[in-house]
Amino acid sequence: MQTVYYIILVPMVYLAFAVFIVGSIVRIAKIFREPPNPTPLEIHPVKKPGWLWTLTDTFLFPTVRRHKPVLWVFLMAFHICLLLLLIGHLELLADFAVFQVIPHEIFLGNGFVGLILAVCLLYFLFRRFVTPVKDLSVPEDYYLLILLFLVVIFGSEMDWARSWYDYGEMEVTDYRTYMLSLVMLKPELPYSTTFSGHSFMLILHVFFANLFLMFFPFSQLMHAIFSLPMNKLRRG
Amino acid sequence: MQQNSKPVDDSHQTPKTPGSPGFEPARQMAYMRRAVKDNLSRKIQAMLNSCVNCGMCAQSCHYYCSTGDSDVIPVKKFEKLTRLLRTHFHPLKSRLPFYGSKDQPDEQMMAALYKAAYEDCTLCGKCALTCPMGINTGEILSLARAMLCSIGRLPSGLVHPVETAFEVGNYLGLTTQDFVENIEWIAEELGDEIGVEGFTIPIDKQNAEVLYIPHPLEARDLPFLLMYALKILYAAGEDYTVSSYDFDTVNYAYYQGSKDNMMRIARRMLDAREKLQARSIALAPCGHGYRVMRWEAEKYLGKRFDFPPVQSIVELIDRYIHQGRIRLEKNKYEGPITYHDPCNIARRGGVIEPPRNVLHALTSDFVEMQPNRARNFCCGGGGGLASTGDFGKLRVTAGKKKAEQIRQTGAKIVATNCFNCMTQIRDLSKAYELGIEVKSVVELVSESLIM
Ligand code: HEM
Ligand code: SF4
Ligand code: SF4
């Protein structure tokens, strides 16, 4: 069993990142391989300054707010939480003074970030069972949401255990040792990460996260990268 | 894969358009590959790659709003193209056994693509406004149109007009001689009407301020429409002319998806201006014609024209009113008037406020449709659909949303600024018994002129 743990926690993480990076580059390269032709795409009226409207379009989803206000609330909550999550994970690597402008414990949000994400994901999932979204969803859409839900649930569990139930066997310092060692390419697994009662949570979280990363370049998740240039196109 | 031997609807099998060399099955793939190569740009590839399958576009498309058929949700329409590109045109995936094929796609796939590209999308661009990623299904489907056009598989209404435009110089095949005669006749009539002895309409006058390009239908079948426009130009004291070389705003090649054909037609208008050294060009009410001359041609050439931007005649009228060059009798028309924004003039063209200014000058009872301006729904006659007789029923079905919009305004008169829109809204009015009159803004202005 320990071998499986090791494979998931070390080689698979490297593999996942490799697939993620290479896959994304290939996907972007595929687009840039095509000739830049002069098809005009902007929609009128053109508002100035274009780049500012592009940023609004990209980060505030005004079109969704206008047509689907409920979805918009979930979307905003979801994406803001994703951002907090990203910061949270970075802080597991090291302390960043910038993020401590508002002093907080690691992990950000005291467990609620994960909760909100989980709720949003359930909403997204149920939404996919209703027309017209049902009619245009492909199986990958459902897999993706379920996968992400699993990542979030197991990740949150560790957080909830620590911050709500004072579970003390796996500490931030342990995560930090593990993650930094990965970054330094000298993998090292602290005892608690593989032998404590909640180890399997960590293993599952990392396992699903790996799958998620490997799935990323081949799925609609590429919208995270494409949305900015795409919205710029529309703004002309 | 064998090509299905199911007979193809005759109307698709119309003979070769210039630029579409033929459709022998063995060579179709080569033609289509070429069309993909020429038309698949970085932008389209980016759009094909960034959809989040969120379904926001469904409610923005008048097809879906009118029919509720899941097959016409924008993302489902361009999905058909995505799939085809993956399985038959992708350099690697098309070689995978059981997945791709280098042969001609089967008839079912081609028919589905044809339906999506030519029948189920008017290229109106409304979906691009709603999509959080800015994906413009119409623009993507132009690529599908270009592919189908390259093998001569396109609606009859987009074949003959283009051929005629290449041969004769306008899509109706009106000869220069007939045109000049008609103009002279119009001059006589107009002279009588305004009571000016020996009134003439300047043809091929050099160095005029404005070269007015009429719609050939105006010049042939509906001369009074042309008369309206010319009367306004005259009343404003404009230094204008018409050309005997080009009198065609229409550019159906744009709807073929073939940019080269489009430019060939557009070039004629540019040449006409060049010959006469006119300072600017003004176009008769024509949506796609405006779009081509205002935006597409410049982008195709990769540079700005060396004369002021092409204008639609409503823009001129707006300016005349603003400058006090024409005076209008207000409220000559009774009852509420609404304005239908043609997609290619408003959302895709950028002319949004001028027609409203004009209508406000004409009536104190102007009502907006909901939604309006850039967000207005397509009438259902765009994309070249209005030019193909067989699509009549389809247009009426797809126009249900528009009919509802119009009914909600309670307007008596629907003014618009595009020939295709007028035709389509008249058809809708009949089919849905809206009891409205459809008029061009030009007509309303001309009839209210205080000379
Ligand atoms: C790290 C970056 C991002 C990640 C990981 C991410 C992830 C996700 C996920 C998992 C969904 C749910 C998909 C679904 O419902 O099937 C989603 C939806 C969405 N995201 Fe993002 N996103 C990111 C960035 C962005 C950005 C920058 C935009 C800006 C436009 C954006 C716009 C949207 C929109 C409009 C949806 C709605 C899709 C739906 O309702 O299903 N996302 N995102
Ligand atoms: S361009 Fe217009 S007709 Fe075509 S899919 Fe988009 S909204 Fe529908
Ligand atoms: S709105 Fe845009 S991103 Fe959403 S499903 Fe439609 S095309 Fe895709």
Note the pLDDT of residue A37: 62
Mutate to test the pocket of ligand 2, among B51, B59, B60, B61 (most ligand atoms within 8 A of CB): B61
Token couple for B47: 């759009």
d(CA B378, CA B398): 9
Handedness of CA B267, B443, B277, B319 (dihedral sign): negative
Note the pLDDT of residue B229: 93
B220 CB neighbour count, 10 Å cutoff: 18
Find, in chain A, the residue whose alpha carbon is nearest to that of B125: A43
CB contacts of B309 in chain A (<8 Å) are none
**Beta-strand (E) ranges in B135-190?**
none
Ligand 2 centre to CA of B376 (Å) is 12
Which top CATH class is B25-154? mainly alpha
- Tens digits of per-residue pLDDT, A45-66? 777 787 888 888 889 999 899 9
Judge residue B170's burial from the number of C-beta atoms within 10 Å of its C-beta, 0-12 exposed, 13-18 middle, 19 or more buried. buried
Per the listing, tokens 């996942």 go with: A16
Q: Report how far apart, in Å, the C-alpha atoms of B68 and of each of A60, A104, B65 are.
A: 29, 50, 6
What residues form DSSP beta bridges with B213? B283
Judge residue B176's burial from the number of C-beta atoms within 10 Å of its C-beta, 0-12 exposed, 13-18 middle, 19 or more buried. middle
Note the pLDDT of residue B346: 92
Q: Which residues surround ligand 3 with Cβ inside 6 Å?
A: B 51-57, 74-75, 131-133, 135
Note the pLDDT of residue B301: 85
Residues B230, B443 contacting (CB under 8 angstroms): no
- DSSP per-residue string spanning A67-122: H-HHHHHHHHHHHHHHHHHHHHHHHHHS--TGGGGS--PSSGGGGHHHHHHHHHHH
Bigger pLDDT: B396 vs A199? B396
Give the 3-state secondary structure of residue B345: coil
For ligand 2, atom 8: residue with the closest CA: B61
d(CA A210, CA A207): 5
B413-416 and B337-340 as β-strands: parallel, antiparallel, unpaired?
parallel
In this model, does residue A188 exceed pLDDT 90? Answer: no
Which of B333, B366, B354, B313 is closest to B437 using CA atoms?
A: B333
- DSSP per-residue string spanning A181-194: HHHTT-----HHHH
B399 CB neighbour count, 10 Å cutoff: 28
HEC-encoded secondary structure of B19-86: CCCCCCHHHHHHHHHHHHHHHCCHHHHHHHHCCCCCCCCHHHCHHHHHHCCHHHCHHHHHHHHHHHHH
In this model, does residue A30 exceed pLDDT 60? Answer: yes
The DSSP symbol for B187 reads H
- Tens digits of per-residue pLDDT, A66-115? 999 999 999 999 999 999 988 888 888 877 777 777 777 777 777 788 99
The DSSP symbol for B198 reads T
What residues form DSSP beta bridges with B312? B283
For ligand 2, atom 4: residue with the closest CA: B121
Whole-prediction pTM: 0.87
Is the preceding omega at residue B223 within 30 degrees of 0, hence cis? no
Those residues whose C-beta lies under 8 Å from the C-beta of residue A5, and which sit 6 or more positions away, are A189, A194, A199, A203
Provide the pLDDT confidence category of residue A39 given band limits of 50, 70 and 90.
Answer: low
Across the interface, do A31 and B45 touch by the CB < 8 Å criterion? yes
Q: From the centroid of its chain, how far is CA B115? A: 19
Q: What is the mean pLDDT of chain A?
A: 86
Token couple for B10: 């005759």
To the nearest whole angstrom, how far is the Cα of B386 from the nearest Cα of chain A?
23
Provide the pLDDT confidence category of residue A209 given band limits of 50, 70 and 90.
Answer: very high
d(CA B194, CA B182): 18
d(CA B73, CA B51): 13
Token couple for B220: 């042939």
Residues B232, B120 contacting (CB under 8 angstroms): no
Residue A9, CB-side half-sphere exposure with 13 Å CA sphere: 25
Domain parsing of chain A, residue ranges = 2-39+68-220
Over residues A151-162, mean pLDDT: 87
At residue B385, φ and ψ (nearest 5 deg) are -65, -35
CB contacts of A219 in chain B (<8 Å) are none
The architecture of the domain spanning B327-448 is 3-Layer(aba) Sandwich (3.40)
Domain parsing of chain B, residue ranges = 25-154, 162-318, 327-448
Ligand 3 centre to CA of A34 (Å) is 22
Residues A231, B136 contacting (CB under 8 angstroms): no
d(CA A212, CA A150): 10
Ligand 2 centre to CA of A60 (Å) is 24
pLDDT, averaged per 10 consecutive residues of chain B (451 residues), comes to 34 41 69 88 88 91 93 93 88 75 82 92 91 91 92 88 89 90 91 87 92 90 89 93 92 89 92 93 93 88 88 94 92 93 91 94 93 91 84 91 94 93 93 93 93 79
d(CA B417, CA B440): 6
Note the pLDDT of residue B204: 93
Across the interface, do B46 and A132 touch by the CB < 8 Å criterion? no
Q: Report how far apart, in Å, the C-alpha atoms of B325 and of each of B129, B134, B386 are.
A: 37, 41, 35
CB distance A227 to ligand 1 below 6 Å: yes
Task: Give the homologous superfamily in CATH for domain A2-39+68-220.
Answer: Transmembrane di-heme cytochromes, Chain C (1.20.950.20)
Which of B1, B2, B34 is closest to B100 using CA atoms?
A: B1
Residues B277, B206 contacting (CB under 8 angstroms): yes
Q: Report how far apart, in Å, the C-alpha atoms of A89 and of each of A85, A92, B376, B415, B449 are.
A: 6, 5, 45, 59, 71
Mutate to test the pocket of ligand 2, among B44, B121, B291, B376 (most ligand atoms within 8 A of CB): B121
* Angle (nearest 5°) at CA B327 between B325 and B331: 150
Note the pLDDT of residue A40: 60
What residues form DSSP beta bridges with B328? B449
Which of B90, B159, B172, B68 is closest to B118 using CA atoms?
A: B159
Judge residue A64's burial from the number of C-beta atoms within 10 Å of its C-beta, 0-12 exposed, 13-18 middle, 19 or more buried. buried
Number of continuous H segments (helices) and E segments (strands) in chain B: 21, 8
Out of B130, B299, B373, name the one closest to residue A39 (CB).
B299
d(CA B211, CA B213): 6
Terminal-residue alpha carbon distance, chain B: 69
